[in-house]
Amino acid sequence: MELTVECQKRPEGSKPNALRRSGLIPAVLYGHNGAESLSLTINAKSAETLLKSHALNSILIQLNIPELSWSGKTLLREVQRHPWKGNTYHLSFFAVGAHGFIDVEVPLHFVGEAVGVKMEGGILDTVLTQLKVSCPPDSIPQVINVDVSELHLGQALHINELNLPSGVTASGEANQVVVSILSPQGGSEGSDEA
């Protein structure tokens, strides 16, 4: 899923608080032209809509800057908010090339009911709730489903055992536990049966 957002170039010498009072949020675009960065503004309502429906580092955003005749795919990498009011203060976008791979974090969605919970009285212990992956920009999965239905008491599912979409590879340690079934006392019991 991709969203299109329009930004304007930030006027020289403009003050961030004055921009916010006029309904604009300061933003910056990195990597659109090598190591250059570009100061932008985005309409506050557009920014809030974007933040309600999209997670950081996981959804491609088509960013258009009409006055510079620049348009390209970006990732929203950072959101700064006011410490207690919660208002959005600043956004950081990173341009991504059409070719190559990018690193993103994708939420994990646990599906099924584990045998170790349903039949053996165990407790499902989710160690990871999101997974860092490397993939082409146009192949970022919105979510990775993790089927736990075959897990018995004392068993665990590791990163290298996940069923990832085509073209997506997990970053990090392959033997990292994603989810396990613990005994109700908090310890894990091994099962002799396979």
One-letter identity of residue 1: M
What share of the chain in percent tops pLDDT 70? 87
In contact, 97 and 60? CB cutoff 8 Å: no
| CATH assignment of the domain containing 139 | 2.170.120.20
Last residue of a domain, one of 95, 121, 149: 95
Q: What is the mean pLDDT of residues 83-95?
A: 83
Residues 46, 121 share a domain: no
In contact, 192 and 154? CB cutoff 8 Å: no
Query: Which of helix, strand or coil describes residue 29?
Result: strand
The verdict on residue 157 lying in a domain is yes
List pLDDT tens digits, range 180-189. Answer: 999 887 554 4
Last residue of a domain, one of 95, 128, 148: 95
Q: What is the mean pLDDT of residues 27-37?
A: 74
**165 against 102, higher pLDDT:** 165
| Rounded-to-integer distance, Cα 52 and Cα 92, Å | 16
Residues 121, 72 share a domain: no
* Number of other CB atoms surrounding residue 40 within 10 Å: 20
The verdict on residue 194 lying in a domain is no
**52 against 80, higher pLDDT:** 80
One-letter identity of residue 59: I
| Rounded-to-integer distance, Cα 104 and Cα 126, Å | 20
User: How does DSSP assign 115-159, residue by residue?
Assistant: HHHHTT--EEEE--SEEEEEE-GGG--S-EEEE-TTPPTT-EEEG
| CATH assignment of the domain containing 75 | 2.40.240.10
What share of the chain in percent tops pLDDT 90? 20
Last residue of a domain, one of 68, 95, 122: 95
The verdict on residue 191 lying in a domain is no
Q: Which two tokens stand for residue 100?
A: 């190559």
Query: Which of helix, strand or coil describes residue 41?
Result: strand
Instruction: Let me know the angle formed at the C-alpha of 141 by 104 and 156, rounded to the nearest 5 degrees.
Output: 85
Residues 109, 91 share a domain: no
Q: Which two tokens stand for residue 137?
A: 């920009």
Domain that holds residue 162: 102-182
Residues 38, 7 share a domain: yes
Q: Cα 134 to chain center, whole Å? A: 12
Residues 115, 52 share a domain: no
Q: What is the mean pLDDT of residues 139-150?
A: 88
List pLDDT tens digits, range 91-144. Answer: 888 887 765 777 888 889 999 998 888 888 889 999 999 899 988 877 788 889
Residues 68, 109 share a domain: no
The verdict on residue 193 lying in a domain is no
The verdict on residue 189 lying in a domain is no
What's the pTM? 0.62
The verdict on residue 21 lying in a domain is yes
Residues 67, 32 share a domain: yes
- 157 pLDDT band, cuts 50/70/90, is very high
**101 against 179, higher pLDDT:** 179
Q: In sequence order, what are the beta bridge partners of 180?
A: 125, 156
Q: Residue 81 pLDDT more than 70?
A: yes
In contact, 120 and 156? CB cutoff 8 Å: no
Helix residue ranges per DSSP H, 83-192: 115-118
Q: Residue 74 pLDDT more than 90?
A: no
Residues 170, 107 share a domain: yes
Residues 83, 12 share a domain: yes
One-letter identity of residue 113: E
| Rounded-to-integer distance, Cα 32 and Cα 97, Å | 9
Question: In this predicted structure, what is the pLDDT of residue 110?
Answer: 93
The verdict on residue 75 lying in a domain is yes
In contact, 189 and 120? CB cutoff 8 Å: no
- 58 pLDDT band, cuts 50/70/90, is low
Question: In this predicted structure, what is the pLDDT of residue 85?
Answer: 80
Residues 128, 59 share a domain: no
Residues 14, 88 share a domain: yes
Structural domain count of the chain: 2
